């Protein structure tokens, strides 16, 4: 579930000078300020039946399942966004995407972490060709989201991968940049999302979606923690203030993460506070 790349990225970030001491956030312990509802907030989920737990206080407005199907019935106020995860889904795609569009989806998400060997794993030029073949035909029926890259900093990773992809896909009809982030601190997160916003502006994309993000500590433990609540209390208002960020989804709507015993975990409560 946690890719090798995520772990390597975590190790690299842990050793970077960007990390700030965790102690700086202790002043916020146990505070969970109520935020206004954000139309940006989404659910990254596997089973649609789990998403109802996120529709209480300030409901999520959209969701995706890393799949071309919704995997069950989402709450009516939650828009389903189909994703063409990677080549393993090419077979069923043309029929599944018609179903998703007929049911009201207005966006299509591209490949999942093509810059990671354990995920969609594609060279940028191949990804551009596949994107043009499978997703671009629906430009006009839906807005098109780029493949979602990691925050890996290597030459063939992250926004560097995306740059090569975009240069090969300038005729693909893309509207939205999708990125993932795993790391150590809110400061690192803001730096990366700011780089993504700058990238989107450079390529005249209308917005950025952060379709997976979390602290490495939570991903490693499969857990919900005070540390992640503190992190979310800092970054969610910031995301909501950024006009260039249109949507985000914390990793993930699942037992042990945003859910605990079928209800909200501590992190889940903060996510929907
Ligand atoms: C995988 C998806 C999976 C999700 C949640 C992602 O990293 O690419 O296939 O559904 O994690 O486990």
pLDDT in tens, 195-230: 999 999 999 999 999 999 999 988 776 667 889 999
| Ligand 1 atom having least distance to the Cα of 113 | 8
Residue recorded with tokens 């709450």: 75
Q: Output the CA 17–ligand 1 centroid distance in Å.
A: 29
Nearest CA to ligand 1 atom 2: 66
CA distance 117 to 104: 33
Domain ranges, ordered by start, for the chain: 37-271
Distance from the alpha carbon of residue 113 to the mean position of ligand 1, in angstroms: 10
Q: Quickly state the pLDDT bin for 76 (edges 50, 70, 90).
A: very high
Is residue 112 within 6 Å of ligand 1 at its C-beta?
yes
**Which one of 2, 45, 65, 112 would you pick to mutate in the ligand 1 pocket, going by the greatest count of ligand atoms within 8 A of its CB?**
112
- Report domain 37-271's class: alpha beta
Nearest of 248, 146, 121, 257 to residue 192 by alpha carbon? 248
Any ligand 1 atom below 6 A from CB of 46 = yes
More confident residue, 38 or 62: 62
Cα–Cα distance, 203 to 118 (Å, whole number)? 28
Any ligand 1 atom below 6 A from CB of 265: no
Query: Distances from the Cα of 200 to the Cαs of 141, 246, 249, in angstroms?
Result: 22, 12, 18
Instruction: Give residue-wise pLDDT tens across range 89-146.
Output: 999 999 999 999 999 999 999 999 999 999 999 999 999 999 999 999 999 999 999 9
């Amino acid at each position: 579930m946690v890719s090798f790349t995520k772990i390597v990225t975590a190790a690299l970030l842990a050793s970077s000078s960007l990390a700030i001491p965790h102690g700086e956030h202790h002043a916020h312990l146990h505070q969970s300020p109520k935020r206004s509802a954000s139309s940006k907030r989404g659910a990254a989920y596997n089973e649609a039946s789990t998403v109802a737990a996120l529709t209480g206080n300030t409901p999520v407005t959209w969701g995706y399942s890393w799949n071309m199907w919704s995997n069950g019935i989402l709450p009516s106020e939650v828009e389903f966004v189909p994703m063409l995860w990677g080549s393993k889904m090419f077979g069923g795609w043309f029929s599944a995407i018609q179903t998703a569009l007929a049911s009201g989806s207005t966006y299509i998400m591209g490949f999942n972490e093509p810059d990671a060997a354990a995920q969609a794993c594609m060279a940028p030029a191949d990804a551009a060709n596949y994107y043009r073949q499978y997703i671009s035909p629906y430009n006009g029926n839906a807005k098109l989201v780029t493949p979602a890259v990691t925050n890996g900093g290597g030459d063939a990773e992250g926004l560097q991968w995306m740059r090569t992809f975009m240069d090969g896909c300038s005729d693909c009809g893309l509207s939205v940049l999708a990125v993932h982030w795993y790391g150590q601190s809110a400061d690192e997160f803001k730096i990366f999302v700011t780089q993504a916003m700058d990238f989107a502006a450079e390529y005249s994309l209308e917005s950025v979606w952060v379709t997976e993000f979390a602290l490495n500590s939570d991903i490693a433990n499969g857990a919900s923690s005070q540390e992640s609540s503190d992190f979310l209390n800092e970054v969610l208002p910031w995301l909501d203030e950024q006009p260039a960020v249109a949507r985000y989804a914390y990793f993930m709507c699942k037992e042990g993460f945003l859910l605990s015993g079928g209800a909200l975990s501590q992190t889940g409560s903060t996510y929907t506070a």
